[in-house]
Structure 1
Amino acid sequence: MTEFAINDRAANYGDGLFSTMKVQRQQVALYERHIARLLHDAYRLGLTLDEQSLRREILEQAKQLAEGTLKVLISAGEGGRGYARTHLNRPGLHCSFSPLPDYYSGWQSNGITLGISNIALARQPLLGGLKHTNRLEQVLIKQAIPDDVDDVLVCDEQGCLVEASAANVFWQTGNRWYTPQINQCGVAGVMRSFVIDQLSGDNMAFEVGRYNLQSLQHGKCVFICNALMQIVPVHTLRLADNTLRFSVAPVTQMWHKWQAAYQGEYGSL
């Protein structure tokens, strides 16, 4: 793991961004989507990256890791008095490794139970969708997850559904799929991008918008997704005054159908 300097801006102010990647057989899953998000988020935060150096470093780190989780964190650099950056600040790249969570395979096969977080996400359109390094809201959300659920859905301050604690959410009502907009808060995940492309490619009715929790009342399938867990079906959602049940099989069948497309998005040296 790369160590941070005491005056690094990511450590002091959350001034940076990151992406967490699944590595298998020295290859990075959803590689081009991770690169695109890092470049996009860096641009939004006013950071200039050398794309070729970034690509080379990620693939070299994946080759070294071989199997597991690669976290790539880009800091706004070292130094600068207070919050303001200076012309001397240069982005720094930091990598760390960890095993893939072993419980994800069981989640994928059997589905999970979701609750509802009592912590709302603040709306900030300048940061909406970005995977920046200031993630205190998610820390608080994770700490408050009840023991009787696997994860929670999270809403914004206006009661609109945004995401799970560390994943995006999709659901199907009738023949149409839905997922929340991620332009005011939350993280626009690379797996979310993959799913949207697959739904579009399969010509499935699909909608991105602003929805409250009542939108799930008549859903028949729900899943959450991120780059590590991939697609995880939800079989139970516990609301304050009701418990909803969903079918797991259609989600697992759909994920099986998309496997060839997913395998085609690995990148390696």
Structure 2
Amino acid sequence: MKLKYSIAHGWTTNDAAGEDRGRQFGDGLFETIRLNGRGEAPLWALHLRRLARGLKALRFSDSAVATVFSALDSLSHPQVSTACKLIVTRGVTERGYAFSNDLEPVITITYFDAAALISKSMSVGLSDIMLSSQRALAGHKHLNRLEQVLARAAFEKEWDEAIMLSQTGLVVEGCMTNVFVKLDDEWHTPELNECGIDGVVRQWLLSQNTKVQVRAVSLEELRHAEAAVVTNSLIGVRSMGQFEGKLLDISPESREWQTAYQELFI
């Protein structure tokens, strides 16, 4: 017997067999996708490519992957929404970490209106939550996000974002964003070999700017940066106006990148 609690009804019997593995174990992936309001997702191909890599990393069966992409091939976005969240979990099982390869994945997509893209700079702090190292999961947007939940809960009032470090103290990303740092007139973005999410806007910017270096970035380098930007699908490209209270320049590159991203959604 399984009981379920709600404020309205208290404890009631729930006889549904099994439980979604995304709910049980975080066994799945998600994509947050910006739309242009005409049923189009300009970076859809990058989202699908990352999803495919994630499904492979989580060892989804070939049949499950085929089901996911067949479902997405048949999908038409509504022409009124400006964003959606796609969640794919391995499926429903009762107990235990083990799973069979014949599970049918659970695929859901929720549409919503994202905030308008703006150019305002952001105030960024330093999170005291450090990211766990796990090469098998690095780069993938899996459903295990407790580190980000804890980091977001500890934001100070004036922060728009917070930088998260690796276990060795290197800059990895923001709580909700990827990071690009300008040092000695050159741009760098942290490598994601041990942890972090390989964001779609990060991928897009790297494809557009081949001189950006992907390498380890130290906290001291960020503290002495000339400029920095943070990126994700919903906010696009935003300048880091200040980090830990220190003012940073708004670079011409960040303005160019902001404009280029915004033009994708016109």
In the superposition, the TM-score normalised over structure 1's length comes to: 0.84
- Partners of 2:30 and 2:88 within 8 A in 1: yes
- Partners of 2:81 and 2:112 within 8 A in 1: no
Unpaired stretches in structure 1, ≥5 consecutive residues = none
Please give the residue correspondences for 1:44-59 in structure 2 after superposition, counting only pairs within 5 Å.
44-47=57-60, 48=62, 49-50=65-66, 52-57=69-74, 59=75
Instruction: Provide the identity percentage.
Output: 27
Match of 2:6 in 1: none
Post-superposition Cα deviations, 1:145-195, rounded to whole Å, max 9, x if no partner, equal 111211100101110110001110001112311111112111111111001
Match of 1:39 in 2: 52
SS of equivalent residue, structure 1 residue 258: helix
Q: Residue 169 of structure 2: which of 159, 177, 184 is its match?
A: 159
SS of equivalent residue, structure 1 residue 110: coil
1:236 correspondence with 2:242 = yes
| Aligned residues: CA RMSD | 2.2
**Number of matched pairs:** 246
1:112–1:6 CA distance, 2 compared to 1 (3 A): farther
In the superposition, the TM-score normalised over structure 2's length comes to: 0.85
1:248 Cα offset (Å): 1.8
1:256 Cα offset (Å): 5.0
Match of 1:197 in 2: 207
1:148–1:183 CA distance, 2 compared to 1 (3 A): same
Q: Matched residues in 2 for 1:65 and 1:137: separation? A: 35
Post-superposition Cα deviations, 1:201-239, rounded to whole Å, max 9, x if no partner, equal xxx3x221122210123322200001111101111001x
- Partners of 1:114 and 1:153 within 8 A in 2: yes
Q: Matched residues in 1 for 2:264 and 2:243: separation? A: 30
Match of 2:250 in 1: 248
1:81–1:87 CA distance, 2 compared to 1 (3 A): farther
Q: Matched residues in 2 for 1:40 and 1:198: separation? A: 21
SS of equivalent residue, structure 2 residue 96: coil
- Partners of 1:17 and 1:131 within 8 A in 2: yes
Unpaired stretches in structure 2, ≥5 consecutive residues = 1-15
Runs (4+) off by over 6 Å: none
Q: Relative contact order, CA 8 A, sep 6+: which one is greater?
A: 1
